[in-house]
């Protein structure tokens, strides 16, 4: 059953952290609207609400609930408390601790590494995906904002290789990251690694990753990320 509450998600439409929040909302079958903010100008709206400048931010817009919840991790914790079923966590405390540790690693380290590798690709070999001046200007601004020097991009790529070697051992069809069911850990991995779907090297080297990302999106009723949408297949030699 859907939850007919008018929650609002403030987001950047292309952000993988915002995708993570949408996957959580989708899994819980919440009714919500999204408001896409413009990078840069977003801070004027978001900072007075949360004291932070990052998106996603969830506005429950219901009396008795917090006015604004900043950060995708807090959004998932809020959803799990507010709407316990279907559950995103198993009942065992020890498994929950493992899940939140994995979630924190994926969120703080791997999501950032993905961002570095993705924007580096979009500025170089993947420039053809959108060579327009406006897109390339945005990409350059993001690269400068996050200090994406070649040395730091290289470190990020190495961090991703280590992470994917670890995930490959335990994230295969029918097998979830922790315990025997889909949890916050799977949702977070799917969202924060999803930008790699645009990068041919990753598509060729880690086919299991994109199958798993697709499964998680299906489970959460969320549109597939760019690179995995059915319409992309016709133009993508790797999936043809
Ligand atoms: N750990 C945060 C990270 C969110 C984050 O980095 N969001 C980026 C977009 S992908 C952002 O809002 N950047 C704009 C800014 O920092 O002003 C979360 O999980 O919500």
Parallel, antiparallel or unpaired: strands 3-11 and 30-36: parallel
Q: What is the pLDDT of residue 230?
A: 83
CA distance 23 to 223: 9
- What pTM was computed for the model? 0.94
Cis peptide before 86 (omega within 30 of 0): yes
pLDDT for 232: 67
CA of 15 to the centre of ligand 1 (A): 8
What is the number of alpha carbons within 13 Å of residue 36 lying toward its C-beta?
A: 5
Judge if the upstream peptide bond of residue 56 is cis by omega within 30 degrees of 0. Answer: yes
DSSP helix/strand/coil, 34:
strand
Q: Which atom of ligand 1 is nearest to the CA of 54?
A: 12
Contact 206, 238 (CB under 8 A): no
pLDDT attached to residue 174:
86
Protein residue with its CA nearest to atom 14 in ligand 1:
54
Does residue 12's CB lie within 6 angstroms of at least one atom of ligand 1? yes
State if residue 188 touches ligand 1 by the CB under 6 angstroms criterion.
no
225 phi, psi to nearest 5 deg: -70, 160
Dist. CA 111 → ligand 1 center (Å): 10
How far is the C-alpha of 24 from the C-alpha of 161, rounded, in Å?
26
Give the number of the atom of ligand 1 that is nearest the alpha carbon of residue 71: 20
* Separation CA 208–CA 174 (nearest Å): 11
For residue 114 and ligand 1, the question of a CB distance below 6 A is answered with no
User: Domain 7-82 is of which CATH architecture?
Assistant: 3-Layer(aba) Sandwich (3.40)
Longest dimension (CA), the chain: 52
> What distance in angstroms lies between residue 78's CA and the mean position of ligand 1's atoms?
18
- b vs e for 131-164, b when ≥16 Cβ sit within 10 Å of the residue's Cβ? eeeeeeebbeebbeeeebeeeebeebeebbeebb
User: What DSSP assignment string belongs to 121-132?
Assistant: HHHTTTGGG---
Residue nearest to atom 6 of ligand 1 (CA): 54
pLDDT digits (tens), the chain, 240 positions: 444 557 999 999 999 999 999 999 999 999 999 999 999 899 999 999 999 999 999 999 998 999 999 999 999 999 999 999 999 999 999 999 999 999 999 999 999 999 999 999 999 999 999 999 999 999 999 999 999 999 999 999 999 999 999 999 999 888 999 999 999 999 999 999 999 999 999 999 999 999 999 999 999 999 999 999 887 654 433 322
Atom of ligand 1 nearest to the CA of 75: 20
Closest ligand 1 atom to Cα of 39: 14
Domain ranges for the chain, please list them: 7-82, 93-221
- What pLDDT score was predicted for residue 233? 52
Consecutive H or E run containing 36: strand 30-36
Fold of the domain spanning 93-221: Glutathione S-transferase Yfyf (Class Pi); Chain A, domain 2 (1.20.1050)
Q: Ligand 1 within 6 A of 53 CB?
A: yes
């Amino acid at each position: 059953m859907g939850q007919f509450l008018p929650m609002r998600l403030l987001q950047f439409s292309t952000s993988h952290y915002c995708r993570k929040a949408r996957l959580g909302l989708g899994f819980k079958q919440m009714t919500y609207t999204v408001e896409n903010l413009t990078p840069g100008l977003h801070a004027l709206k978001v900072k007075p609400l949360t004291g932070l400048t990052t998106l996603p931010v969830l506005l429950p817009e219901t009396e008795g609930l917090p006015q604004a919840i900043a950060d995708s991790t807090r959004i998932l914790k809020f959803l799990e408390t507010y709407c316990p079923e279907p559950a995103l966590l198993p009942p065992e405390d020890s498994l929950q601790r493992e899940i939140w540790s994995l979630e924190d690693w994926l969120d703080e380290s791997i999501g950032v590494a993905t961002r570095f590798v993705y924007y580096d690709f979009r500025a170089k070999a993947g420039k053809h995906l959108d060579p327009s001046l406006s897109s390339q200007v945005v990409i350059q601004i993001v690269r400068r904002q996050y200090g994406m020097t070649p040395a730091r991009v290289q470190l990020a790529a190495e961090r991703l290789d280590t992470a994917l070697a670890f995930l490959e051992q335990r994230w295969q069809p029918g097998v979830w990251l922790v315990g025997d069911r889909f949890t916050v850990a799977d949702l977070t991995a799917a969202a924060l690694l999803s930008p790699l779907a645009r990068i041919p090297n990753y598509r060729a080297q880690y086919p299991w990753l994109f199958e798993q990302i697709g499964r998680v999106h299906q489970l959460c009723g969320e549109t597939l990320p760019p690179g995995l949408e059915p319409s992309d297949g016709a133009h993508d030699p790797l999936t043809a």
